[in-house]
Structure 1
Amino acid sequence: MTDALLPLALSQGDPAGIGPDIALQAWLRRDALDLPPFLYIGDAEVLRVRARQLEIDVRLQEVDVAETATVFGAALPVFHIPTGTEVLAGSPHVANAKGTIGAIETAVQLCFEGKARGVVTNPIAKSILYEAGFGFPGHTEFLADLAARQVGHAVKPVMMLAGPKLRAVPVTIHIAIKDVPQALTQAGIVETCRIIAHDMRQRFGIEAPRLAVAGLNPHAGEGGAIGHEDDDIIHPAIRTLRDEGIDAFGPLPADTMFHDEARQRYDVAVCMYHDQALIPAKALGFDDSVNVTLGLPFVRTSPDHGTAFGLAGTGLAREHSLVAAIRMADQISRISKVQS
């Protein structure tokens, strides 16, 4: 298989969630949306049952990876990994965790073997995986560990929400608000921004990326009147980045960073905590935003939503974010190939 025909590897996510639904719907719209070939990695029988439940006619074909591109026009290609037990839409079960994890591992392995050019991950339910002994805070950390095993050194993943109107990165992610000030360090901000700048150049084709760095406190601390972190931690980090030739500026008051005019001044908003980044990202592009993991030695994107168990099998789940994730993985992998 030539590089131009390499597929994207789409992991099933939690099979009781909407991952199977939106994968089926995306494939049905493949021609209308001009989607690149993708290989569904997961349980073929779950897809068959879900298609019947949704009353849609989809041909499935279990394939070897190399057959994906030739099969894709006529059937949804599937790399079969059994779930472990019967799957009921909307009813997650810990017995299915092994298949969920196996699909992710397989997708990553295909990239390292040169058989896939990127990973697109459907949503997982972390609480279910935790019951099965999953030892990572989430998807991203697991992917970083898989990468580290392959390359032989630690890998720092950086989560970016990317949509048509905004790219936003949180420096700290899934921690309590009360823990954010202690978690913020100059070194952490600098390392995160270095990865952002590198991947903006190598994977998005932006030669001189502009990084707008948010303050932590209201009004970016108001000169120390509303907290000291902006002056003591964030500002020195920005100075270090500028000394290295990275176009980072701030710290900026977060409440004036995201209106239309302000967004024209930067390529990525670097935020200090989860909601500071994700609230504007989702408000500006809920159906069109994509979760992109920077800092990995392979391309990874994901829909910007959860498993939505209440929608699984109902026909109400929308495939828009998955389609955006597939398109972005396609775009990034093409640019990355040119840059490499």
Structure 2
Amino acid sequence: MLKRIGIAGVTGLVGTTLLRILESGPQEITDLRLFASSRSTGAKVRFRDRDYEVKEVEPEGFKDLDVAFFCLEAGLAKKLAPKVAKHCPVIDKSSEFRLRDDVPLVVPEVNPDALKGHKNIIANPNCTTIPLVVALNPLHRRFGLERVWLASYQSASGAGRELLDQLHYETEFIALRRPPDTTGSPLPAQLADNVIPQIDALDAHGHSGEELKTIRETARILGLPGLKVTSTCVRVPVTIGHSLAVTGRFSRAVKVGDALRVLKDAPGIVLSPGNELATPADCRDKDAVFVCRVRPGAEPEELSFWVTTDNLRKGAALNAVQIAGLLLPA
């Protein structure tokens, strides 16, 4: 059972969300240690009617804990996670360890057995990959997945508090019918009243970093190293909630009715009945992956559908807490 917990990066959006999930959960936490960068050192964070002081991240501070949640950027995770892993298991949300053969990349509804034989570092997948594989996995098990096409519509919070604040700021200008002030924005263009068809740097072939994550992580989590994935990732002016338009091609013909029955019974999925829609606003502060608009593709073997989830919860913090629950069951 989770009783002694450390969180590195607790003042960020994912760290804050993780703390709130633990606060409302059943865990009887007896030792909570909170860490962040030096600029947040000394801050007070409330948890279950008690104030905790945030300390600077330091490996020795994680001694004798049951688990450490890392909500840090990749560079810091690379430096600190192996040192902390000498003291306790580390569940890391950064991209640093996701494709390493000796580090399991886990979505509990999909590949919990990947945790076997872990070496105290477990990677939490990308916030777009997680809902994608939760939706694809039951369909793959029934129909045999061969190819995926996707377009993602990713909220500002997926890039952190700085971009979320920038979106709020720019939206005020739009409400006043004025051009937004983008001075200091982390993006190359305004986000309010706009979409940006690039997330992260482009490689030599024109694929963005985010697109490569969805391509490579999806294949690894599903255990399909030869899976072909075509991905376009787009930043949209939404505060919280990542969505995907997905088409899968399977090894045999897929009837929509059969697919609906599979999705309805799948763990972690809320399937919208009939023609009801699921939007980012519907999924906020909820734990499930929402699926709607299930329909035939261009060929009998293809199926198209819409997926959305709270990227701070199931797309990040909740998935990490679920992994911890597998490591240390009640």
TM superposition score normalised by structure 2: 0.35
Q: Give the number of the structure whose residues are more often strand, by fraction.
A: 2
Structure ranking higher on relative contact order (CA contacts 8 Å, 6+ apart): 1
TM superposition score normalised by structure 1: 0.34
